[in-house]
Chains A and B, each alone.
Chain A
Amino acid sequence: MSSPDLNVRKVATLARLALSDEEVATFQDQLGRILEHIEHLKKLDVSDVEPTAHTYPVFSVTRDDVPGESLPREAFLGIAPRSANNLLIVPKVLE
């Protein structure tokens, strides 16, 4: 069973994830069955129900406007796969 709407390759690209042909086939099948299972949610009438994003709603939480200590730049550059001149290095973005 595979969901006609689910295009695994397209969604994977949106998620910036390369997949092998074999993975695409496996996921198409497995996710198709999972999507089929969750169809039963459509049986419920939720038209008058508010969504829950967080179980304990807290809003507009602010901290005191006091500067604190931050980690030194080296701490972050030190864990990056590539860095130079205090910057992260990535492949050329602009031609």
Chain B
Amino acid sequence: MDLTTLSAAELQAGFRAGQFTPVDAITALEKRIEAVEPQVQAFLSRDFEAAKKAAETADISLPLGGVPIGIKDVINVKGESCTAASKILTGYTSPYDATVITRLRAAGAIPFGRLNMDEFAMGSSTENSAYQVTRNPWDISRIPGGSSGGSAAAVAALEVPATLGSDTGGSIRQPAALCGCVGLKPSYGRVSRYGLIAFASSLDQIGPFARTTEDCALLLNAIAGRDPHDSTSLDLPTEDFTSQLGRDLKGVKLGIPKEYFVDGMDARVRSKVEEAIRQCEAAGAELVEISLPHTEYAVSVYYIIATAEASANLARLDGVRYGKRADQPKDLMDLYLRSREEGFGSEVKRRIILGTYVLSSGYYDAYYLRAQKVRTLIRRDFEAAYEKVDAIVCPTSPDLAFPIGERTSDPLRMYLADIFTIAANLAGICGISVPCGFVEEGGKQLPVGLQFLGKSLDESRLLGVADAYERLSGWNKQVAPLK
């Protein structure tokens, strides 16, 4: 049996049935990673020996006992590097575990490896990593999406059954769509952000990638919940996020937002998404046309709020307490200026400047405050929609995975590609991307993602709907043709 093709749930069942052990699973992953990683380059680092050691003592009676979980390089794991794919954190070693890591360990999982990403999670292609370019397992001349591109590519390439990423404006759902796996962004407040290197604190959420919706639910069970170290994590009753799996779509009201089917999106993507929606309808879902009238403003609102928060969050990277320091600074100001100049890449600098500008005296009301008010309008659009529907269904990304290098010189074009994912972060709701078909281009099959958006804290139902579609369509079972 090829253990690398199994989901986390299947691995766990096999451990408990005594068919194979967690060490067998790590050994199988090691072989697979050594074979395909030179092409994919999803990992910034990995330690098989440490993983095997953890596997030897894993408690397989726990919910994720013995299952390896890959970690985006923006989440602190004690004793490991955590660079956020930035040169400014070269050499940094985490002195503590993020809360999600503490919780994964408590559930028996083995945090494994550091996954590549856009620097400080800023980007949509993982090309902004200071270290390496991760490739899409379906076509290695193309990007895997971003910013959690390594987390998506590693799952799609069967290098690990599941991973954690972070989603500020689509950074889980968009790479999941472009790599043909499942990616969940929980509602804001569902998962503790303690130990996640902050990008935009009012938008960031940690969430799982896997090859099944069921695995995403199992990972959410492990990581969700109130944490005294993150005052924005919500104190809610414990919930089993697998409780609505295995149901069908009969009577489920799915909203189709007309603003998400626009000119300019790839017609082939649109046709696959429409086909998937018809399939849901044939299975008993009731389709309801809805309107989210402020959709066209979401990208602008996002790039004001996210950059403003980022400019404040990244101020801590000053060359004093951790990370890189410029050589022989002549004074403290010179130390700040040059440590940051040398440490940050172009996209991060661009966003720090934009964020500083929109917060600066005289411009705050015109940009930041206005953006926060329009954010309210976007949030209300969703509240009105969820009075009529159980979930919203739409494309995850307007495009297929694009060739490496195609958009790096045009940031605005790169930003506009986030149009279908950004509003969920602004509204604080939950969203999931599942595979809904493939488009052939240049002799390669490229995945298309279908996005379901649920109202705030309605993850159980959202996962139930995504799981029902997944079992109808089976697209998640396709495997990237890597040798």
Interface, chain A (partner B; CB < 8 A):
5-6, 8, 11-19, 23, 26-27, 30-31, 33-34, 37-38, 40-42, 44, 46, 49-56, 58, 61, 63, 71, 75-76, 78-82, 88, 90-93
Contact of A23 among B311, B346, B356, B456 (CB under 8 A): B346
| Cβ-defined contact, A38 with B304, below 8 A | yes
A49 lies within 8 A of B376 (CB): yes
What are 30 A-B contacts defined by CB distance under 8 Å? A6-B357, A11-B353, A13-B337, A15-B356, A17-B340, A17-B341, A19-B341, A27-B350, A27-B353, A30-B411, A31-B354, A40-B296, A40-B300, A41-B370, A44-B297, A46-B373, A51-B372, A52-B375, A52-B376, A52-B379, A54-B232, A58-B234, A76-B95, A78-B95, A81-B320, A81-B323, A82-B325, A88-B320, A91-B330, A91-B332
Given the known A-B contacts A16-B340, A56-B189, A81-B324, are A34 and B373 also in contact in the complex, defined by CB atoms under 8 Å?
no
Complex Cα distance A30/B332, Å?
A: 30
> B376 near A50 (CB under 8 angstroms)?
yes
Contact of B331 (CB < 8 Å), options: A41, A80, A91? A91
* Minimum Cβ distance to chain B for residue A34 (Å): 6
Q: Tell me how many residue pairs across A and B have CB atoms closer than 8 Å.
A: 162
Selected from A18, A46, A80, the residue in CB contact (under 8 A) with B320 is A80
User: Do the beta carbons of B352 and A51 come within 8 Å of each other?
Assistant: no
Chain B 300-335 interface 0/1 with A at a Cβ cutoff of 8 Å (1 = within): 110110000001000100111111110001111111
Contact A51 B376 (CB under 8 A): yes
The reply on B69 being an interface residue by CB < 8 A is no
B303 touches A17 (CB 8 A): no
Contact in complex: B231, A58 (CB < 8 Å): yes
- A23 lies within 8 A of B303 (CB): no
Question: A52 CA to B300 CA in the complex, in Å?
Answer: 15
Give the docked Cα–Cα distance between A76 and B228 (Å): 21
Interface SS, A side: loop
B188 at the interface (CB under 8 A from A): yes
Known: A34-B354, A34-B412, A37-B300. A49 touches B373 (CB 8 A): yes
Residue in A38, A51, A52, A71 whose CB lies within 8 Å of B367: A38
Q: Contact between B322 and A81 (Cβ–Cβ < 8 Å)?
A: yes
Contacts of A55 in B (CB 8 A): 188-189, 202, 379, 426-428, 456
Q: Is the interface of B mostly helix, strand, loop or mixed?
A: helix
**When the two chains form the complex, which single residue of A14, A49, A75 contacts B356, counting CB atoms closer than 8 Å?**
A14
On whether the beta carbons of B415 and A34 are closer than 8 Å, the reply is: yes
Q: Of all chain B residues, which has the CB nearest A74? A: B95
Q: Are A15 and B311 in contact (CB under 8 A)?
A: yes
Query: Who on chain A is nearest to B410 by CB?
Result: A30
Q: A37-B300, A51-B372 provided; 17 other pairs, C-beta below 8 A?
A: A6-B357, A15-B352, A19-B349, A34-B303, A34-B415, A41-B371, A41-B374, A46-B374, A54-B428, A55-B428, A56-B187, A56-B428, A71-B96, A79-B322, A80-B321, A80-B322, A81-B322
Given contacts A31-B350, A34-B411, A34-B412, contact A11 B329 (CB under 8 A): no
Chain B residues with CB under 8 A of A44: 294, 297, 374, 377
* B344 within 8 Å of A (CB atoms): yes
Quick check: is B48 within 8 A (CB to CB) of the other chain? no
